Amino acid sequence: MTRGGETRVAAFRARLLAAMALVVVALTLFGLYLVERSVTSETQHDLRVAFTSELGLLRTVRDIRHASLAERCRVLVRKPRIHAALEDNALDLLYPSAMDELGDALPPGDDTGAQPSMRARFYRFVDIDGRVIPPLSAAEVGALSPDEERRLGFKGVPQEQQNGYLVRDEREIIEIFATPIISTETGEAIAALVAGFPVALNDHASSGLRNGLWVDGRLYFPSLDEAARAALAAEIAPAVARSQDELAKGRAVRVNGAEQMLFCERLNPRSLFSPAYEVGIFPLADLLARQTKLRWKALVAGTLLLCLGVAASFYISARLAVPVRELATVSAENRVLRERAEAALKIKTDELERTARFSANASHQLTTPVAVLRAGLDELLARENFTVDTREEVSLLVHQTSRLSGIISDLLLLSRLDSGRLELTLSPVDLTHIIETCVDDLQLLYDAAAPEVQIDLPRALHVAGDTRYTLLIVQNLLDNARKYGHAGEPIRVSARMENDSVTLIVANRGEPIPRPSWEQIFERFHRGGVGENIPGHGLGLNLARELARLHGGDLCLTRSDSEWTEFAVQFRAASVDSRIAAV
């Protein structure tokens, strides 16, 4: 390979390496980006799952407790004695009956009965106007401060159970259920039972989930110090003021310098009591640490992958360069061969052109001397002083001169054909007329020796052709048939039209042409296996075929057996329009 080839292969290899390295880097970066995204979303998802399950557990416990307390209150207010006390005008019996009926659910008493959290801290009845019905002994139904008692009242009696929260002395959360007492006689709420149950805030030491309560615009969060509580309250207050659900899905906040997930959920939606929110915080430190660790892992893996990718692309580009190098070598050799072939072709073309030019020039140059020769011979024949023998020899010379001029004109025509300088003017030609003309010429030329010509033609037969050369084709074929047909046997001329083509068949009865020679007879100066006694110079069929092809048709030997030898020439039928034009 040349030095230039080497350089090109090296350049190709460098470019390939660069492209592959670029692709590898891009893919790695994209992969890293995807990993980063997936790490982030996965850890967030993990976090969500973790705290949702924690929270779900807490909430399930809370909901079960809530539902059981609510149901407990509903059962209590259906007690017939309580209804009797309210409906039968026996308010003095209300609290004593309640004490009997509500049994272990309500204070006072030891804590041996229900669980402490299921035992009410206090209860009161509220009359139809929403005022608290004073108990006989506050100690027996749980003491309340005047402010607390005021907050238990309503404007009228609620028609559905209401749920509220109360923080007592900054140390105890009370969940309040206000359950309407529906009269069995009127079907309307005639009073309500308001009972308060203590709520325990459960911090989860294992997960770090911590709980608080937001009620009456204040945050109750025993496990946080004052500063952290204030910071959290500052987060919650505006969110709660804007929308009840804003913090339901959680928000990252900073409490005591640590990232925490804060979430709030309304505990008593649609309640007449002031809204209360459960506040929870879930530490994010673990999550962030895990995220950072995962990121580092991904980065290291990505770097390794990148190195590996670059090495692989180096190797692959080297491997790919080998066949390219071979290809380059081969193509250099090919180029040399091609250049040689082109040179040879040019020489051949030049030779051919020279030959054609020579043959044209020669034919042209020969025409004049032959004409002169012919004129001279004619003049000799006109003399009176020749003997019969001399005259006969001169006649023979005249005949040979005619033959010579025939060969010359054929050669001239062939050389024009070869050099592509022969141009046809195609127009509708009446083939029938041409055939008849040729047959007439045959009869005139050979008189008694002329063979019988059987003509079987359609009535009108127009082909696209040049009259002069079409005539030449037909003439050559008829002449050929006459020459090679046995004496006294007829020549048959027939034609048929198929779609756009006209096939003219000229047949004679003569010696059959052996199959292998069917193509050879169309070669120039080929005389077949016929005897030299038949006049001709081996150009007629070649010329006829060349002309037929120039007309867009062809000339073939289609049959040659003991009966007939048939030549078929195809023409293109003249289009109807052009036929009309010809008429």
Partner 1 sequence: MKLPVLFFIAALFAAAHGVADTVIEGRIDLPKSRTAPVVSKRYEIVSKGGVLAPYPPFAVVWLEGDFPKATAPSVQQMAQKDLAFVTPLLPVQVGTKVEFPNLDDTYHNIFSFSPVKRFDLGRYTKDVRPIPSQVFDKPGMVTLRCDIHEHMRGIILVLDSPYFVKTDADGHYRLAGLPSGHCTLKAWLSSKSTLEHPVELKAGATLRVDLP
The verdict on 191 binding partner 1 (CB under 8 A) reads: no
- Residue 420 CB partners (closer than 8 Å, separation 6+): none
3-state secondary structure of 304: helix
Euclidean distance between CA atoms 286 and 560, whole angstroms: 104
Which strand (E) or helix (H) includes residue 496? strand 491-498
Q: Shortest gap between Cβ of 78 and partner 1 (angstroms)? A: 6
Which residue lies nearer to partner 1 by CB, 129 or 351?
129
The verdict on 128 binding partner 1 (CB under 8 A) reads: no
Which residue lies nearer to partner 1 by CB, 95 or 122?
95
The verdict on 89 binding partner 1 (CB under 8 A) reads: yes
Per the CB < 8 A criterion, the answer to whether 123 and 195 are in contact is yes
The verdict on 84 binding partner 1 (CB under 8 A) reads: yes
Q: Shortest gap between Cβ of 186 and partner 1 (angstroms)? A: 4
The verdict on 71 binding partner 1 (CB under 8 A) reads: no
Which residue lies nearer to partner 1 by CB, 87 or 489?
87
Euclidean distance between CA atoms 520 and 542, whole angstroms: 10
Euclidean distance between CA atoms 216 and 227, whole angstroms: 19
Which residue lies nearer to partner 1 by CB, 85 or 262?
85
Euclidean distance between CA atoms 384 and 394, whole angstroms: 13
The verdict on 83 binding partner 1 (CB under 8 A) reads: yes
Q: Shortest gap between Cβ of 188 and partner 1 (angstroms)? A: 9
**Residue 421: which of 352, 357, 488 has the closest Cα?**
357
Euclidean distance between CA atoms 471 and 239, whole angstroms: 109
The verdict on 80 binding partner 1 (CB under 8 A) reads: yes
| Binds partner 1 by CB under 8 A, chosen from 65, 78, 374, 483 | 78
Q: Shortest gap between Cβ of 76 and partner 1 (angstroms)? A: 12
The verdict on 90 binding partner 1 (CB under 8 A) reads: yes
How far, in Å, are 536, 542, 562 from residue 530 at the CA level? 11, 16, 16
The verdict on 85 binding partner 1 (CB under 8 A) reads: yes
Q: Shortest gap between Cβ of 140 and partner 1 (angstroms)? A: 19
| Binds partner 1 by CB under 8 A, chosen from 8, 62, 65, 81 | 81
Task: Determine phi and psi for 113, rounding to 5 degrees.
Answer: -80, -110
The verdict on 185 binding partner 1 (CB under 8 A) reads: yes
**Residue 190: which of 129, 275, 242, 239 has the closest Cα?**
129
Helix axes 285-382, 3-77, angle to 10 degrees: 140
The verdict on 93 binding partner 1 (CB under 8 A) reads: yes
Q: Is 528 exposed, middle or buried (0-12, 13-18, 19+ CB in 10 A)?
A: middle
The verdict on 74 binding partner 1 (CB under 8 A) reads: no
The verdict on 269 binding partner 1 (CB under 8 A) reads: no
Euclidean distance between CA atoms 272 and 375, whole angstroms: 143
Q: Shortest gap between Cβ of 236 and partner 1 (angstroms)? A: 45
The verdict on 8 binding partner 1 (CB under 8 A) reads: no
Near partner 1 by CB under 8 A, which window of 67-75, 178-186, 232-240, 541-549? 178-186
The verdict on 524 binding partner 1 (CB under 8 A) reads: no
Q: Is 4 exposed, middle or buried (0-12, 13-18, 19+ CB in 10 A)?
A: exposed
Q: Shortest gap between Cβ of 157 and partner 1 (angstroms)? A: 15
Which residue is listed with tokens 């990252």? Answer: 252
Q: Shortest gap between Cβ of 127 and partner 1 (angstroms)? A: 16
Alpha carbon dihedral 2, 3, 8, 11, in 10-degree steps, equals: 150
Which residue lies nearer to partner 1 by CB, 98 or 506?
98
Q: Shortest gap between Cβ of 79 and partner 1 (angstroms)? A: 8
Which residue lies nearer to partner 1 by CB, 97 or 480?
97
Neighbours of 278 (CB within 10 A): 21
List interacting residues with partner 1 (CB under 8 A). 78-81, 83-85, 87-90, 93, 97, 183-186
